[in-house]
Structure 1
């Protein structure tokens, strides 16, 4: 049997697995799938899978008229102590079990490629799962470890995701560099300051080269939430007024709309009590048509399709100055012209948080800008023009590099086989 190791980047939006041949010291291939799970409304027959993972999950969900349970951004529930389990098709799933479904799908595809079962993996994790909160971080790490076990891995090591990205970048170097790595994903933005040297590639001990790591719980999903709040929620009745008592007019609670701006909070609407409250607001608003859109969104599980349109707008604004946020389904009609300047304004609060954290990170670790030879940006969110602008304005005289924004981390994790050596 071949000596194989998997480098696994379990991401908020996409997940990747690189297959590493430990004898040849090379990556054979990398598999990339969306971090999505769809549970059809009707359970599968006994003995067959009752869920679909990855790119086919989207197609199946849309073909079924967006019924059943569609789950995305699962990574974000790992650190949530408030999430214990959810019931789907009369079966209970906790956080580890849901994550395991994605890891198992990656493992199955990789095992088929190599023709054998591999149970050894280096799995990436953000520097902080939920900002600098030790108890939440420990909970998330424990859950991710259990997910790996449930997926069939019995030899597991964990590596910070930006360190994985750094080792992938190191493969492209011809000389030693002091590098600031920024990994901007769907859920988090992580930084690592590392000394990279092509002559050290494959060395067992790299501890002294890893100077500092840190992260903040802001990523592409934060941008999408901000956009939904600004551009989407008015179409779902954010400004709806209702007559609480005769002559007393109030605006419906803003909290309702905060919960449609974050995918993991959509389950807030599952309870009978909140559904009854929403129906009451609708009645006392005089059947406001925009508030009716909120009821339609919830009752027909349309959240994902709305966020698909937001994602499309974000991607278009990464390559052009104007886009149109459009959505039309079940009498919900949205059409909003957006230019890059307005989009930058919408996400500015999150951008400033990233910028502030980056400055703190450098100061806390006594890293002088003059000591940084190059920047390496990875992750899908690094493609957002405002992010590029942020780094270029902060470091005007430092070259900004990037690799494959969706597979760099997985490849670097695969190069981290030294973690299995004694002393780690």
Structure 2
């Protein structure tokens, strides 16, 4: 019998899908040969179609007229899940857009596997919403409900760091007391677990999960912090306006630096406001650049440039950050150097919140950080050198293990799906 179940990791930045094979577990190619599908939906106005993943992002960046939405997972648990956004001349619920993306993942997987997928285990962060249990439960219910609407008959959920632990456990030859660190696009999640080859055979692992914690900090937050510090000053972030020289409203810039809030900035009211204050400001050329960016709906292009600079700084000490081009601007096109030190400073505060969440996990598990034997690192943000360094320094006695940055959770969810539905 071919497995009619899968594990689906719907991520803030990237999504994956794992399934059982004859030889074990594998990731399903979702975007060409890549197992990662960027969590992006592009509404192509020119050809009146919807594109997903890298294709949609590429179309948007090359100037195809349309709307790009990213970081869709961040909408879960927020008031935005009940909002609509303008797509062409039609207002579309955000919930429906998430549904389109999950339906596309299901369709791609079924085409690859050659049969229908009935059952799924969805990954979920330890906390969708910090310090609000009701909103957190509602976010999970929303995700499960959306998945069922796309044709999954039975839907279960599993904490993403527990899924990562299940994947790591497959490689062990002896018992370990391990800290699982999953730094995703929207959340950072942690589990302390007793893992072993014997434990890998048990379906009930509740007794081996000693502690867990999570915090709403992830790669998109690092993008936001870097954007505010390095990009937004070139768009008038520190401009003073009016006869009283009041500061520009900061929410415009923070929303422009936040992936899932960008589409809601493209309003006639914001455009009119900027036009009304430019001439009476101390940085008119920079505010003209901001006006052009919003008028041309280039917010996601800017966010992509910031993200690319962040990724480049994982391997290099310097990167070039480009602002979207405005051929009629009074200022020349902005291309400036960002250093790794700039990135370290921008993410320092959020990294401190990650360390505090690890300490909470240790307290819940009643484990001294010095007694941890291994630390398993997964998620794209573990590639940021200063973040990784501070984590490893905090659990200095633990042996660092690098997991598949983008695939560990999906594989673990496939293992969990096999145990539940196999």
TM-score by length of 2: 0.92
Alpha-carbon shift at residue 68 of structure 1 (Å) = 1.4
Choose the corresponding residue for 2:276, options 257, 264, 280: 280
Q: Which runs of 5+ in 2 are unaligned?
A: 30-35
Deviations 1:246-299 (A, max 9, x none): xx4333222322221112222442333333222211133388111011111111
Q: Spell out, residue by residue over 1:371-414, the C-alpha distance to the aligned partner (whole angstroms, 9 max, x if none).
A: 31100010000110011111221122211112111011000000
The question of 1:257 aligning with 2:256 is answered no
Aligned-pair distance for 1:241? 2.8
CA RMSD of aligned residues (A): 2.1
| 8 A contact 2:298–2:324 mirrored in 1 | no
Query: Matched residues in 1 for 2:373 and 2:282: separation?
Result: 63
Q: Aligned in 2, Cα 1:204/1:83: closer, same or farther, shift over 3 Å?
A: closer
Structure-1 separation of matches of 2:342 and 2:281 = 31
**Are 1:321 and 2:312 counterparts?**
no
- The alpha-carbon distance between structure 1 residues 3 and 356, as it changes in their structure 2 partners (threshold 3 A), is closer
Note if contact 2:163-2:408 (Cα within 8 Å) is conserved in structure 1: yes
CA distance in 1, matches of 2:252, 2:135: 26
Name the CA distance, whole Å, in 2 between partners of 1:371 and 1:287: 55
Match of 2:300 in 1: 304
Cα separation, 2, equivalents of 1:311 and 1:270: 21
Aligned: 1:74 with 2:72: yes
Q: Which moved more, 1:275-284 or 1:170-179?
A: 275-284
| Corresponding position of 2:42 | 38
Matches within 5 A, 1:368-407: 368-407=368-407
Equivalents in 1 of 2:187, 2:282: separation in Å?
42
The CA deviation at 1:82 is 4.2
Deviation at 1:155, TM superposition (A): 1.2
- 2:127 partner SS: coil
**Is the 1:204–1:418 contact (alpha carbons within 8 Å) kept by the matching residues of 2?**
no
- Encode CA deviations 1:138-193: one digit per residue, 9 max, x unaligned: 22112111221122101111000001100110111111111110100110000011
The offset of 1:338, in angstroms, is: 2.4
Cα displacement string for residues 52-106 of structure 1 (whole angstroms, at most 9, x for unaligned residues): 111111122234x153110000000011124412232444433332222222121
Match 2:285 to one of 277, 282, 289: 289
- C-alpha distance in 2 between matches for 1:67 and 1:135: 39
Residue-by-residue CA offset, 1:319-339 (whole Å, 9 max, x unaligned):
122222233512472222222
Alignment of 1:2-151 (within 5 A): 2-21=2-21, 24=22, 26-31=24-29, 32-42=36-46, 44=48, 50-63=49-62, 65-84=63-82, 85-151=84-150
Residue in 2 that maps onto 1:47: none
Quote how far apart the aligned CAs of 1:315 are.
1.4
Matched, 1:198 2:197: yes
- SS state of the match for residue 330, structure 1? coil
- Give distance in 1, aligned partners of 2:369 and 2:186: 26
